[in-house]
Amino acid sequence: MKILRFIPFIIIISILCSGCPDGKSVSSTANAIPREAEEIPLHNNPSDSKSILKETPPTPIVEKKASASILSAGDVIMHDAVIQSGKTESGIYDYTGIFEFVKPYAEKADYSIISYEGVCMDSDKNYTGYPLFNAPPAIISAFSYAGFDMVNNGNNHCLDRALDGLFETRSIIKQKNLQVIGTFQDAAEPRYKIQDINGIKVGFLSYTYGCNMNENRLTEEERSTHLSLIDRDKIETEIKTLKPKADIIIVLIHWGVEYRRNATDEQKKLAENIFSWGADIILGSHPHVVEPSETIEIDGDIKYLIYSMGNFLSNQIGGNNPNPRNNDLTEDGMMIDIQIEKDFQTGKTSIVSVKHIPTWVYRYTENGIYKYKIYPVPSLDHGSLKGLDEALVEKLKNSYSRTMELVKDYP
């Protein structure tokens, strides 16, 4: 039986050898098998994860465009009554309720900015409003709660507790995981911020006209290191330094004349210069009232400017006794929603749209204490107005009309 089993094996070997024209052995024939045959699966079982069939990798999808939304709000000014409004029975401060209705807008935007006039200190609990503002750090916590990402602290009240207050305010803002611009820790800190928003590099710069003369108490070196005062040569240099590093440049600027509803010739000229130096968006603050917006086309590019966004939160409420500093106009503010887009094929970043969302500061009394809410008014027939008290709705609509007569959406 062993001999019979061996005979078929001899026959098979003979046949294989006779099929080799050059007389090579079976092993050399196997080495000559084409590469394609080597890549054929050993069997057709689809569950075999060890199949050696190579697949062509999918072609990566390259995004041709990126878009981002940037939201900016007006000035937050913590007057004495606003400070006290947040004090709870336990003695701690909580201002989150003030921002309840604007929170959805700040959270929805890809990046949101708010302007804060004053300092906030934990080490100095002598909290005061005008003229030297120092508020509880809880106001910064409220910014974070509301969905803001950056605090602009470059304004005339950033030295209200000297450099100690400036440094501690910066520290508290950063502890809440927010960006801060407009004041600086040391000379090594860049004068600008660059934020990557959905693949678009957005550059920010901030300037103020002054610090209520408190800057004169600093040395020239301290002013240069820790502040960002308006100086044409400085602004031009910093914009041109930032230009190659950013896709779009936003300048936050604290300027103008308080309680005036239009810009000065000096502001208009400076704005023209800022655009010519390479900036794309100018967001103004300080006057405590809303001032006009402009959409300008320069060399085929759309530029946007608002001279003042008004008061986002303050106690400058006219009530029954209005005066030049406390009236309907000082109750008005806004949020600005700016949509930008980058074309990766051309490398160009453009402003796609600008929408103004008027806001109104509502002050009411609760247990003998003033309380505050910031109401957004996207339109006169917005659903958020339904169900509100008729008198309140009338005030909101009046505020909307006052603001929108000065600004214009784009396109």
CA atoms within 13 A on the CB side of 179: 21
Cβ 334 vs Cβ 74: under 8 Å: yes
pLDDT per residue as tens digits for the range 127-143 = 999 999 999 999 999 99
Q: Is residue 344 part of a domain?
A: yes
Confidence of residue 63 (pLDDT cuts 50, 70, 90): confident
Cβ 270 vs Cβ 249: under 8 Å: no
| Residue percentage of the chain with pLDDT more than 90 | 84
Q: Is residue 188 part of a domain?
A: yes
Residues 185 and 257 placed together within one structural domain of the fold: yes
Burial of 327 (0-12, 13-18, 19+ CB in 10 A): middle
Confidence of residue 46 (pLDDT cuts 50, 70, 90): very low
Give the least confident one: 21-30, 89-98, 211-220.
21-30
Confidence of residue 57 (pLDDT cuts 50, 70, 90): confident
Rounded average pLDDT over 258-266: 98
Q: Is residue 411 part of a domain?
A: no
Cβ 248 vs Cβ 280: under 8 Å: yes
Pairwise CA distance, residues 77 & 83, whole Å = 10
Confidence of residue 365 (pLDDT cuts 50, 70, 90): very high
Residues 39 and 78 placed together within one structural domain of the fold: no
Long-range CB contacts (within 8 A, 24+) of 299-302: 301/350, 302/350, 302/351, 302/410
Cβ 140 vs Cβ 176: under 8 Å: yes
- The pLDDT value recorded for residue 69 is 98
Residues 387 and 312 placed together within one structural domain of the fold: yes
Please say if the pLDDT value at position 252 is more than 80.
Answer: yes
| Domain total of the chain | 2
Containing structural domain, residue 26: 1-55
Residues 235 and 313 placed together within one structural domain of the fold: yes
Residues 11 and 118 placed together within one structural domain of the fold: no
pLDDT per residue as tens digits for the range 6-31 = 333 433 334 333 444 443 333 333 33
Residues 126 and 202 placed together within one structural domain of the fold: yes
Residues 38 and 136 placed together within one structural domain of the fold: no
Handedness of CA 117, 118, 119, 125 (dihedral sign): negative
Residues 84 and 196 placed together within one structural domain of the fold: yes
Residues 106 and 218 placed together within one structural domain of the fold: yes
Residues 111 and 218 placed together within one structural domain of the fold: yes
Please say if the pLDDT value at position 37 is more than 70.
Answer: no
Residues 30 and 149 placed together within one structural domain of the fold: no
| Residue percentage of the chain with pLDDT more than 70 | 85
CA atoms within 13 A on the CB side of 117: 30
pLDDT per residue as tens digits for the range 186-200 = 999 999 999 999 999
Going by C-alpha positions, the residue among 228, 231, 235 that lies closest to residue 275 is 235
